[in-house]
Structure 1
């Protein structure tokens, strides 16, 4: 736990810096690129993300979870990863024209081809990344992450300003992959083989097949909105939906990989020791919702001000979609660690069932409910998420002994904190003059809302208070004018 906690702090610092840079870039790009250009990239990334599932083939999760990871098994994992990555890259290059034709959007073709080239380079750093995560070596992971992010951000802005449009994001992504792969070379653990093998490919493939089912279902689930809206709507609406999602997921964006960092390895170790995962599941979810639900509630209440302040009036049409997406996000956050838990016990395929149900529901609801507006489309996504919750609850009760009633009891403090913070935001928003600039309104509300959130944490005795005190303790110790009892 000490190693994991230290790695979480390091990972958060690293990912926060990365997130800050990427967030600034996304704001700048929103004022340089049009909704259509961002929509074209979003539609293309849907297929790229889906391809990543097959590219990885569960190898990263296998390396992090495998109890007895020998050199031969590592070489086999490398062999499977190289084969799957290069095969998928070739398929994407070949299929790019057909996908562009299906959407009747030729701009997709060159974007997809550039993104496909990145698949040839990803394996060179992927295994090292998985091993570092297995050993909770977040400090070593920070360097490649920082290098790739810096090159990505610079490339994005320079290329976008020089008129590359959607291609600026594609080229920046490729540059990021190449620089990360190069930066991972000095981070390679001692004894990590260079030469791939297929001696133990069956054990890797067996785990990968189970992982592939759930990962494939999850990725398809995330891809459906852009695919369906891109087909029955337009690239412009896809761009607006992407921006509404960005507003709703600001917390997830800031938290980055820290939320799930090392979770598979940590839970797998607990499972191998015969320990119950319920306390870890409960604590992790309460901590996540303690911050995440309040962030989602604020996004729902202050969505208009956030969009205007960050992205400008061009994107105001996305605001009606923020409320339903926030509700859907709060439901998904409640079960964030469920797929990780079933993967850690060697049953990754279990998470595929609820995801498949939600995916089918998304397709049906989106097609039936869509009336040409983004608002109705977003409510369709929300309803699809809602009907999946009971399925995941049943799985958690059956395989971990974590009942729905117990989970809901655990989440009461987070719920009170989120509702109280949202109410305070609504009151402050109503009291502030409408003519004030959106950024000014948000800045004025920031400190009072943070104070309300913290006071509510104290009142509800939320376990997040202990984590905050633990983080603040070293700072207090270094400040002589703060007493030990403060």
Structure 2
């Protein structure tokens, strides 16, 4: 646990720093690129992200949860990921014309082709990345993350300034991948084989097939909003939905992969020791919702000021979609660790079932509820999330013995903290003059809200208090050293 906690802290600062930098870049790009240009890239990225599911073929999860990971198994996993990645690269390149024709957006074609080139390079670093995560080697991954982030941000802004439009994001993505691959070379684990093999391909494929189904369902489920809205509405609405969702996901973007870092490996170790996963799943969810629910609630209340401050007045029509998207995110956060736990116990097929139900619900509600407005489409996505949750509740009770009653009692402090933060935000919003610039209003409101959040954690005796104090302890110690001796 100590090693994992240290890795989580390193991962948090690495991913949050990366996310903040990329977020700043996205804010700048919102003023350099039009909603249509960002929408074209978002629509294309949907298909590329879906292709990543086939490219990985569950190799990452396999390498993190396999109990006896021999060099031959690693070589077999390497062979699988090389094969799938290069096949996907060729498929995306050849499918680019058809995709541009289907959406009646010819600019999609060059964007797709540039993104396809990334699949040629990805395999050279993906196995190393998975093994570093298995070993909780967050400091090495942080180095790679820094190299990739800086490469992406610099190239993205430069290319956008030169007038590359949506292609600036695509080329920056390719440069990011190339930089990461180069950075992984000196960080490879000792005795990691270079050459691929097919000796144990069946064990990789058997797990990978189930993981592929789950990941494929997840990728389609994530892609459906952009695809469906792109078909029913326009590229501009896709861009607006993307900005609304980005606003809602600010907390997740800042926390980055920390909320899931090492989860499969850690849960798999507990499972292999034949211990119950209930205490770990409960505590992890309590810690996540203790800050996540409050962050989502505040985003919904302060959404207008956040959008105006970050993106500018041209994105104001995205604001009404924030509330339903925030509600859906809060519901999903409650069961964030269940799919990861199912992968950890070696049952990847099971995690696909709720996702498939959500996929069908998103399509159904999206078609039935869409009336041309962005907000109705956002409420359709929210409704789809809510109707899927009973199935996830059944799974967590059936396979882990975690009842909804037990989880609800554990999450009561998180709910009280979120409600208290909402009340404080509404009061502060009313007190701070509306004539002030949005960013100034947010800065004035932010510090009191942070104090209220911490006070509510103390009053509700939330488990997150101990973690906050543990993180603050080194800072207090350093400050004490800086104080002059009397």
The residue number in structure 1 matching 2:411 is 411
Q: Does 1:250 align with 2:250?
A: yes
Summarize the alignment of residues 170-209 of structure 1 with structure 2, pairs less than 5 Å apart. Answer: 170-209=170-209
CA distance in 1, matches of 2:429, 2:97: 48
Alpha-carbon distance in 2 for matches of 1:433, 1:192: 60
Give the CA deviation at 1:480. Answer: 2.9
* 3-state SS of paired residue (1:436): coil
Q: Does 1:156 align with 2:160?
A: no
Distance 1:475 1:227 in 2: 46
Deviations 1:233-264 (A, max 9, x none): 00000000000000000000000011100000
Q: TM-score when scaled to structure 1? A: 0.98
1:58 aligns with 2:58: yes
Structure 2, unaligned stretches of length 5 or more? none
Separation of aligned partners in 1, 2:481 and 2:77: 55
1:429-472 CA-partner distances (Å, limit 9, x unpaired): 11211111000100000110001111110010000000001111
Determine if the alignment matches structure 1 residue 271 to structure 2 residue 268.
no
2:434 maps to 434
Residue 142 of structure 2 is matched in structure 1 by: 142
Contact 1:264 1:343 in 2 (8 A): yes
> Counterparts of 1:447 and 1:482 in 2: how far apart (Å)?
25
SS in 1 for 2:302: helix
CA RMSD of aligned residues (A): 1.0
* Cα pair 1:307 1:316 within 8 Å, conserved: yes
What is the DSSP-based 3-state SS (H/G/I as helix, E as strand, rest coil) of the residue aligned with 1:31? helix
Q: Distance in 2 between matches of 1:183 and 1:480?
A: 37
> Shift of residue 476 of structure 1?
1.8
Q: Deviations over 1:44-78 (max 9, x none)?
A: 01000100000000001100111111111110000
Shift of 1:477: 2.2
Equivalenced residues, count: 483
Q: CA deviation at 1:161?
A: 1.1
Residue in 1 that maps onto 2:12? 12
Q: Deviations over 1:264-301 (max 9, x none)?
A: 00000000001110111000001000111011001100
Mapped pair 1:225 → 2:254: no
8 Å CA contact 1:476–1:482 kept in 2: the answer is no
- Corresponding residue for 2:83? 83
User: Counterpart of 2:32 in 1: which secondary structure?
Assistant: coil
Shift of 1:479: 2.9
Match in the other structure for 1:260 = 260
SS at match of 2:192: coil
Q: Which runs of 4+ in 1 moved over 2 A?
A: 477-483
CA–CA distance in 1 between the matches of 2:147 and 2:59? 24
Map Cα deviations across residues 163-207 of structure 1 (whole Å, 9 max, x no partner): 111000000000000010011000011111111011111100000
After TM superposition, give the deviation of residue 481 of structure 1 in Å. Answer: 8.3
Unaligned regions of 5+ residues in structure 1, if any? Answer: none
Distance 2:197 2:478 in 1: 52
State the partner residue of 1:373. 373
Q: CA deviation at 1:482?
A: 11
Q: Which residue of 1 aligns with 2:347?
A: 347
The 2-side partners of 1:408 and 1:160 are apart by 47
Determine the structure 2 residue equivalent to 1:112.
112
